[in-house]
Amino acid sequence: MKKRIFVTATNTDIGKTYTTLLLLKEFASRGLRVGAIKLIETGVVDIAVDAELLLDSLKELNPVFVDMKREDIVPITYTKAAAPYIASQRKALDLLKLHSAIEKLEKLCDVLIIEGAGGLLVPIDDKYMMIDMIKEFEASALLVSHCSLGCINDTLLSEYILKEKNIEFFTVFNCKDSDSDFEDVSEPYFTQTREKVFKTSSDIDTICDVLYNS
């Protein structure tokens, strides 16, 4: 099995895709053949936003993606912008479809980044939540958190459930331009309670090292 990295986040819109694009570039700059898959994308009417972003990047970084279509890297889409449980009208998750898409893509790359939808406890169907996909696909986990007020609680909650499920993970903070008060308001808690605070803006190389070797 090739290296699989599952990118999750404390919520939707935190920066999973943004971080994935940075990871793809960094891994590719190391000479690795990169790939990415977004398992389920909801809110897809004409455009699948994540699929377009990922595919555009992959076409630049790995020639085998040049002729690929959106459905090759996003096997399941729904029109309603909602959790898959709602968007699918409680349809049972087609795990075989996801496994086969992953296996097909990873034949073409050395490292495959798997982007989840929303956060960890997003319900997919009556049986599965997004967190279950990390073990299902035997991937290393990257938790992307935000830097706005409330990020301490959100980060700790996500880390708590990952630990409860015995999933090893690595946390990174994706600070946006509007988060200029992170250093003052939230970061002191993290600097005092962990060895280092990793950020997408400055630590992508270290994150790649850790994930690739975990």
Catalytic residue numbers read: 38
d(CA 5, CA 90) in angstroms, rounded, equals 27
Helix (H, G, I), strand (E, B) or coil at 94: coil
Q: Is residue 14 a contact point for ligand GTP (CB under 6 A)?
A: yes
Query: Got the DSSP string for 108-140?
Result: T-SEEEEE-SSSTT-B-SSS-BTTHHHHHTT-E
Q: Which stretch binds ligand GTP (CB under 6 A): 60-68, 128-136, 169-177, 183-191?
A: 169-177
Binders of ligand GTP in range 80-139 (CB under 6 A): 118
Q: Is residue 195 a contact point for ligand GTP (CB under 6 A)?
A: no
Q: Which amino acid is located at 206 in the chain?
A: T
Question: Quick one: what does residue 80 bind among Mg ion, ligand GTP, none, with the CB cut-off 5 to 8 Å set by partner type?
Answer: none
Minimum CB distance to ligand GTP smaller for 45 or for 96: 45
Scan for tokens 């943004």, then name that residue: 18
CA-closest candidate to residue 115, choices 47, 24, 43: 24
Q: Which stretch binds ligand GTP (CB under 6 A): 16-24, 75-83, 134-142, 165-173?
A: 16-24
CA-closest candidate to residue 120, choices 74, 83, 82, 80: 83
Q: Is residue 177 a contact point for ligand GTP (CB under 6 A)?
A: yes
By the 8 A CB rule, do 166 and 160 touch? Answer: no
Q: Is residue 174 a contact point for ligand GTP (CB under 6 A)?
A: yes
Site string for Mg ion, 17-46 (x = CB under 5 A): x-----------------------------
Candidates 16, 75, 83, 134: give the one binding Mg ion (CB under 5 A): 16
d(CA 163, CA 153) in angstroms, rounded, equals 15
Residues in contact with Mg ion by CB under 5 A are 16-17, 50
